[in-house]
Amino acid sequence: MALAAGSAIDLPCGRCLVAPTVFDSAVARVDYRRPWDQVVAAFKFHGALDLAGALASSLADAIVDASEVDAVVPVPLAPARLR
């Protein structure tokens, strides 16, 4: 469902108006759904290191395609998964 610009969803909350965050946006190379969810899980959790080059190349392309990138950060594991 598309929302019109200026809808309530587009407006910042009160907390963000008082203390704006430094985070403006995020870029993802792919939607985290089939088949990419399985590819990332194979690499991250099942030792499919042969996927490293393709995933790194894809991430590099996303960075080049983005208009401005300040940082590239990993998505951390949930505490239960880390244990």
Lowest mean per-residue pLDDT among 43-47, 57-61, 62-66, 74-78: 74-78
Q: Taking the model in full, what pTM does it have? A: 0.58
Assign 2 a pLDDT band (cuts: 50, 70, 90): very low
> For 69, phi and psi rounded to 5 degrees?
-130, 125
Q: Which of 1-10, 25-34, 50-59, 72-81 has the highest mean pLDDT?
A: 50-59
- How many CB atoms sit inside 10 A of residue 19's CB? 7
